[in-house]
A and B are shown apart, each in its own frame.
Chain A
């Protein structure tokens, strides 16, 4: 399993191939298609990430110390964003996820999604993923 830093670096390189926003967004939307989809039974209010303008459902499970996420969204850019996070965090140690830096999002040119704006769900998604990881470390 590659480390978070390695995966982030790979993503940065992938996004760097596009010199305009259209390419980056097309690629991001494409990432959403590879997202490990959440089981329909978890597509309930309980698993909704609060603070997103679109609906995002997120589920986490662990295998020992390692955390595995599945998710879905009704908006395809949002789905790409959550896929981006899942790609980096999936299969990592709960402890490491809880302390993950994730500033690579800024570096790949998606900074606007990190603004503390209520219409923006990425910050909420990160918080929720870390909370799941934290909860798992305590069990």
Chain B
């Protein structure tokens, strides 16, 4: 009998990762005289030539405004735009393309949600539940909403591994709770939250759930129907696509009820000075000329990722994470921040009392790009009582040599900074 583990091992082994890496032209450049080692994938991923070529192809062949013109270019552009929406729908297994809204990114999507859904449904005294792990993008829009509505933002605490404390989560649910908004995966520390269980508990109490999928969509298969989340948001640029494009997925019944976020062209059916009739989904939420190139090329990024296979990607990134964790742990004075049992390919760490900024500066001189600081998670850093961390985040196009180079650079930094 073949186990699941064996199947996934053989899957990952079947991909020629060396060849995959060749797809990323930027990885051939040098930084400070050394070949680039890019380990800041949680901030933004690099782009394969298939995606870069698709941008050039778009502007060279069918650049025109969408959903408007009767001319051929506009029709071709519109076709490609809507074809991409279909790809996104399939990528996350939404039930309809109407449930897929193009936004500027995860941040844009969460703001849309907070403004549109929040303004309609949140009343004085209501509660919105987020977690200690959240990115500022999943804190501030809710904070702004709560301030305006005299509602309360409640925080699910975490344990020292960076995992949500389940009992506390349950205790915080009440009949005042109207929405739970949590990250699928924490950007700063990498733990994968038990979103399915969260959603089940919420739905038993008629509470809606938004999942911030910015760190999950690039790394694992997303199935919004299986998860049964009410809303799911993610960004193109973290998953090999362009910047400035992201997705708000929402169940059709909620999106139908929500008022438009921005007014303008595209989102209307008819306009008179007396009354405007809003357009149908998804256009109701897409006022103005959209980021056409971004939306179309996001489709190419999706084709690229699914061509490799999200399972393969997940498996490969876990291999890299485990190797890097093992190697890093063998160094003296290493403190890993975030050691959840289920973890994505993010490695946040500190060494002795070396400041993350100092470490990041030396690593950069060694050609190794990592993120240092609070990772847009100041409340989380405050909880750990640390100024920030050094974060190495891996993508499937990284390799064992990148990890060797990271370790070598960390050793050099320790020598120079201790």
Chain A residues within 8 Å of B, Cβ to Cβ: 21-22, 25-26, 29, 53-55, 74-78, 112, 119
* Inter-chain contact A29/B416, CB cutoff 8 Å: yes
Known: A53-B373, A55-B387, A119-B373. A77 touches B365 (CB 8 A): no
* Inter-chain contact B355/A21, CB cutoff 8 Å: no
Chain B: interface residue total (CB-CB under 8 A): 16
Q: Which of the candidate stretches B65-73, B214-222, B356-364, B398-406 sits at the interface with the other chain?
A: B356-364
Chain B residues within an 8 Å CB radius of A75: 355, 357-358
B417 within 8 A of A: yes
B118 within 8 A of A: no
CB distance from A121 to the nearest CB of B (A): 8
- Say whether chain A's binding surface is mostly helix, strand, loop, or mixed: helix
Chain A residues within an 8 Å CB radius of B365: 21-22, 25
Chain B residues within an 8 Å CB radius of A26: 416
* Inter-chain contact A119/B387, CB cutoff 8 Å: no
5 extra interface residue pairs, beta carbon distance < 8 Å, beyond A53-B372, A77-B357, A119-B360 = A22-B365, A54-B355, A55-B387, A75-B358, A76-B355
B105 within 8 A of A: no
Chain A residues within an 8 Å CB radius of B388: 53
Chain B residues within 8 Å of A, Cβ to Cβ: 32, 355-358, 360-362, 364-365, 372-373, 387-388, 416-417
CB distance from A133 to the nearest CB of B (A): 26
CB distance from A47 to the nearest CB of B (A): 17
27 A–B contacts, CB within 8 A, in A order: A25-B361, A25-B362, A25-B416, A26-B416, A53-B356, A53-B357, A53-B372, A53-B373, A53-B388, A54-B357, A54-B358, A54-B387, A55-B387, A74-B355, A75-B355, A75-B357, A76-B355, A76-B417, A77-B357, A77-B358, A77-B361, A77-B362, A78-B357, A78-B358, A112-B364, A119-B360, A119-B372
Chain A residue with the shortest CB-CB distance to B355: A75
Docked CA distance A76–B417 (Å): 7
Docked CA distance A96–B125 (Å): 57
Docked CA distance A107–B355 (Å): 26
Chain A residues within an 8 Å CB radius of B373: 53, 119
Chain A residues within an 8 Å CB radius of B360: 119
CB distance from B360 to the nearest CB of A (A): 8
Docked CA distance A123–B387 (Å): 20
Docked CA distance A101–B10 (Å): 61
Docked CA distance A14–B389 (Å): 33
Docked CA distance A25–B362 (Å): 9
Chain B residues within an 8 Å CB radius of A54: 355, 357-358, 387
Which of A21, A29, A76 sits near B32, CB closer than 8 Å?
A21
Chain A residue with the shortest CB-CB distance to B373: A53
Docked CA distance A22–B395 (Å): 29
Docked CA distance A138–B222 (Å): 61
Docked CA distance A119–B361 (Å): 10
Considering residues A22, A25, A76, A112, which has the most beta carbons from chain B within 10 angstroms of its beta carbon? A76
Chain B residues within an 8 Å CB radius of A74: 355, 387
Chain B residues within an 8 Å CB radius of A55: 387
Chain B residues within an 8 Å CB radius of A29: 416-417
Chain B residues within an 8 Å CB radius of A77: 357-358, 361-362, 417
Chain A residues within an 8 Å CB radius of B358: 54, 75-78
Which of B355, B357, B362, B416 sits near A119, CB closer than 8 Å?
B357
Chain B residues within an 8 Å CB radius of A119: 357, 360, 372-373
Chain B residue with the shortest CB-CB distance to A54: B357
Chain B residues within an 8 Å CB radius of A22: 365, 416
Chain B residue with the shortest CB-CB distance to A74: B355
Chain A residue with the shortest CB-CB distance to B366: A21
